[in-house]
Amino acid sequence: MKIYVKNMACESCKIFVKEALEELDISPIKIELGEVEVKEVLTESQKKKLNSKIKKAGLELLEKKQGILIEKIRTVIIDYVYNSDEKPVIKFSVLLSEKLNHSYTYLANFFSEVEASTIEQYVISLKVERIKELILLEELTLSAIAFKLHYSSVSHLSNQFKKATGLTPSHFKRLKEKRRITIQNI
């Protein structure tokens, strides 16, 4: 049985979900971002208990198809922003379409309708938060960050960052007390 989980955005989320499943004597087969496969068919009671446990970490079970597709879109975007160090050989729109088996137009319209934001705005928001993280935690140069996040230039990265935050990346680096927004709150 497949279970879909909202806000699952990192390896620690996967570990948290795995532990919650094991506490409830539910056998996970495969745990991916936003999607969990278990051996047994869950009862409503098991789903409620699991949902209650994972809510402590800001996660939530998804039941409706609409929410599931939105979460799949988010998962592909998060994976693209956080885990693709090499420049993709295909456009992001093609990548998203291929992974989710829908046209990009359909996915973009659906995402905008449900989220009141575009896929592009969501990607930019994630990238800005990733830039903040890389500046503060990894001490990378702006050139290295621009390359890692597939920007055409440091100038493009800086302009997008300033438009989103009101600060240049260099000024942000000096203001280390400025907090990042968690992925779940974007």
Query: In 3D, which of 111, 110, 107, 87 has the Cα closest to residue 99?
Result: 107
Q: What tokens appear for 145 in the block?
A: 């960050």
Is-contact 54 60, C-beta < 8 A?
Answer: yes
Residues of the chain with CATH 3.30.70.100: 2-63
Q: What type of residue sits at position 165?
A: T
- Look up the CATH architecture of domain 2-63: 2-Layer Sandwich (3.30)
**Domain 121-185, second-level architecture:** Orthogonal Bundle (1.10)
49 pLDDT higher than 70: yes
The CATH 1.10.10.60 domain(s) of the chain lie at 121-185
Instruction: Give tens-digit pLDDT for 61-97.
Output: 888 777 889 989 999 999 899 887 777 778 999 999 9
**pTM, 2 dp:** 0.71
Cα–Cα distances (Å) from 68 to 56, 62, 138, 150, 155, in that order, read: 20, 6, 33, 28, 36
Q: What is the pLDDT of residue 6?
A: 86
The 10s digit of each residue's pLDDT in 106-139 is 999 999 988 889 999 999 999 999 999 998 887 7
| C-alpha torsion angle, residues 43, 48, 50, 53 (rounded to 10) | -160
* Distance separating alpha carbons of residues 124 and 145, to the nearest angstrom: 14
Q: How far apart are alpha carbons 32 and 174 in whole angstroms?
A: 36
